[in-house]
Amino acid sequence: MKKILIVEDQEEIRELIRVTLEFDDYEIEESPNGDEGLRKAGSFRPDLILLDVMMPGGLNGLQVCQRVKADPALKRTKVILLTARGQDGDRQAGLKAGADEYLIKPFSPLELMKVIGKVIR
């Protein structure tokens, strides 16, 4: 069973993503911020992290992505950045941080599942 970690500060969006993922056979963990998300990634060892870029507090999504990709224990973990920022410079920053894919909000559940399938199957 593939493991997915959702790191998103907006509870409604986390819930929408979780409900979408529950249609498939995934083990799901959630985190409301980057700091906790990074800690959970270390213990949960997800196959995929769905990661919001803009989060309040400590680490933002780009920083979490960079740290995940730099951690030898998490080197196989894929990262899909979720963001409302769709400018080319934003996308380039995400890819430079190591993201495997970049999904612009709002996105449909179907679009999310298609991108997840492309990244982890």
pTM listed for this prediction: 0.96
Q: Report which of 72, 70, 71, 90 is spatially closest to residue 81, judged by C-alpha positions.
A: 90
Give the pLDDT of the chain (121 residues) as one tens digit per residue: 999 999 999 999 999 999 999 989 999 999 999 999 999 999 999 999 999 999 988 999 999 999 999 999 998 999 999 998 888 899 999 999 999 999 999 999 999 999 999 999 7
Query: Does residue 102 come out as left (phi exceeding 0), alpha (psi in the -120 to 50 range) or beta?
Result: beta
Which domains are present in the chain?
2-120 (3.40.50.2300)
**54's tokens:** 């803009």
Q: Report which of 56, 41, 49 is spatially closest to residue 4, judged by C-alpha positions.
A: 49
